[in-house]
């Protein structure tokens, strides 16, 4: 018997295929962003392809193993967004469940080492917000994944703010009675430090501002390579971010030290300095002595790279 499909059925099947195709693309972009961050060198205190920075329990191969476990989860985050029919807040509840599974896969791959916990959380919010916003605002019916306009990216940022509204108080209000605290929870109890949750609830303002600068082309210098731009972005983030990885490893005074070090590097010209690489190698040594690693800034660099890809911003030399 010949199967007759109603027009509505065909439209919805086409839509489903398109969302799956877009989700795969989003997953690939996100995984690429995570890989770019990992191999970028020289980075101070962080694992890269040259050394392990301030870390003893992981190297670049641990990061490659870990990154390879993330792709299908990133696609799931996107499908969560495309398939969501409720409001932004309930999307966040949905993706946290997906995130827990991705975290599990990651820990399995790294044999218990925390390489990408922070980025799984942040990427979950970003990827699902992109998908949810595209579904609501992009009326295009083409199969090819669309390049996002600055206006559409702004919609994604406000979606992220809506998704995470009240996150800090919700996550932290039961800590008094909790027996085992994570690093982020300990820092909140001790210093009222908001870390990754604060960054997310504020709608990733550091990344949002970075994109404003990138769109104005203010980063591009005739002598710059893509790598130079990414390194300048990393130092700008280090000079601004309330990074809980810095504090949990180096103490609260380490945060000002990192910000100040990054500020001085940038004031002197960032990657434009003729001896920029030598300077970063020295900063790496100083960070290693103090056990400092700017893991939160590294995560936000990966998020920035994802948006650069989504908006197709030219960061070539």
Ligand X SMILES: CC(C)(COP(=O)(O)OP(=O)(O)OC[C@H]1O[C@@H](n2cnc3c(N)ncnc32)[C@H](O)[C@@H]1O)[C@@H](O)C(=O)NCCC(=O)NCCS
Ligand Y SMILES: Nc1ncnc2c1ncn2[C@@H]1O[C@H](COP(=O)(O)OP(=O)(O)OP(=O)(O)O)[C@@H](O)[C@H]1O
Interface residues with ligand Y (CB under 6 A) are 37-38, 46-47, 53, 55, 114-119, 183, 245, 248-249, 293, 295, 298-299
Residue closer to ligand Y, measured from CB, 7 or 179: 179
Q: Does 118 bind ligand X (CB under 6 A)?
A: yes
Do residues 41 and 284 make contact, with C-beta atoms less than 8 angstroms apart?
no
Q: From the list ligand X, ligand Y, none, which binds 96 (C-beta under 5 to 8 Å, kind-based)? A: ligand X
Q: How far is the CB of 150 from ligand X (least distance, A)?
A: 22
Q: How far apart are CA 70 and CA 60, in angstroms?
A: 16
Q: How far is the CB of 98 from ligand Y (least distance, A)?
A: 18
Q: From the list ligand Y, ligand X, none, which binds 134 (C-beta under 5 to 8 Å, kind-based)? A: none
Q: How far is the CB of 302 from ligand Y (least distance, A)?
A: 7
**Tokens at residue 195, please?**
């870390």
Q: How far apart are CA 68 and CA 49, in angstroms?
A: 16
Q: Which long-range contacts (CB under 8 A, 24 or more apart) does 211-214 make?
A: 211/150, 211/153, 211/304, 211/307, 211/308, 211/311, 211/313, 214/304, 214/308, 214/313, 214/315
Q: How far apart are CA 117 and CA 113, in angstroms?
A: 10
Closest CA to 25 of 317, 220, 313, 309: 309
Q: How far is the CB of 50 from ligand Y (least distance, A)?
A: 11
User: Of 15, 16, 96, 143, which one interacts with ligand X (CB under 6 A)?
Assistant: 96
Q: How far is the CB of 240 from ligand X (least distance, A)?
A: 9
For the chain, counts of helices (H) and of strands (E): 15, 0
Residue closer to ligand Y, measured from CB, 55 or 197: 55
Do residues 108 and 117 make contact, with C-beta atoms less than 8 angstroms apart?
no
Q: How far is the CB of 128 from ligand X (least distance, A)?
A: 9
Q: How far is the CB of 45 from ligand Y (least distance, A)?
A: 8
Q: Does 184 bind ligand X (CB under 6 A)?
A: yes
Q: How far apart are CA 90 and CA 162, in angstroms?
A: 10
Q: From the list ligand Y, ligand X, none, which binds 100 (C-beta under 5 to 8 Å, kind-based)? A: ligand X
- Find the distance separating the first CA and the last CA of the chain, reported in whole Å: 60
By CB under 6 A, the count of residues binding ligand X is: 28
Residue closer to ligand X, measured from CB, 41 or 76: 76
Q: Which residues touch 281 (CB under 8 Å, ≥6 apart)?
A: 42
Q: Does 254 bind ligand X (CB under 6 A)?
A: no
Its sign, for the CA torsion 31, 37, 40, 41, is negative
Taking contact as CB under 6 A, which single stretch among the options 3-11, 133-141, 196-204, 213-221 is the one that binds ligand X? 196-204
Taking contact as CB under 6 A, which single stretch among the options 29-37, 41-49, 63-71, 93-101 is the one that binds ligand X? 93-101
Q: Which residues bind ligand X (CB under 6 A)?
A: 95-96, 99-100, 103, 117-118, 120-122, 124, 182-185, 195-197, 199, 241-245, 295-296, 299-300
């Amino acid at each position: 018997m010949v199967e007759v499909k109603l027009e509505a059925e065909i439209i919805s099947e086409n839509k489903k295929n398109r969302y799956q195709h877009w989700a795969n693309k989003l997953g690939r972009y996100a995984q690429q962003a995570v890989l770019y961050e990992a191999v970028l060198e020289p980075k101070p205190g962080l694992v890269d392809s040259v050394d392990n920075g301030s870390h003893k329990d992981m190297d670049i191969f641990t990061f490659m193993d870990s990154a390879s476990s993330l792709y299908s989860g990133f696609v799931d985050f996107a499908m969560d967004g495309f398939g969501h029919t409720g409001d932004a807040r309930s999307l966040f509840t949905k993706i946290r469940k997906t995130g827990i599974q991705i975290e599990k896969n990651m820990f399995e791959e790294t044999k218990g080492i925390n390489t990408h916990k922070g980025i799984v959380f942040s990427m979950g919010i970003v990827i699902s917000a992109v998908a949810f916003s595209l579904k609501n605002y992009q009326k295009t019916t083409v199969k090819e994944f669309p390049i996002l306009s600055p206006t559409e990216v702004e919609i994604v940022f406000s979606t992220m703010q809506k998704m995470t509204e009240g996150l800090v108080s919700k996550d932290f209000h039961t800590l008094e009675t909790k027996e085992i605290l994570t690093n982020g929870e300990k820092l909140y109890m001790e210093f009222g430090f908001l870390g990754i949750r604060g960054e997310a609830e504020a709608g990733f303002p550091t990344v949002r501002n970075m994109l404003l600068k990138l769109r104005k082309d203010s980063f591009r210098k005739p002598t710059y390579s893509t790598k130079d731009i990414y390194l300048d972005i990393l130092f700008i983030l280090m000079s601004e971010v309330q990074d809980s990885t810095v504090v949990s490893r180096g103490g609260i005074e380490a945060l000002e030290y990192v910000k100040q070090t990054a500020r001085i590097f940038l004031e002197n010209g960032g990657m434009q300095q003729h001896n920029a690489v030598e300077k970063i190698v020295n900063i790496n040594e100083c960070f290693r002595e103090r056990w400092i690693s700017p893991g939160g800034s590294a995560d936000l660099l990966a998020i920035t790279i994802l948006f650069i890809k989504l908006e197709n911003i030219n960061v070539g030399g």
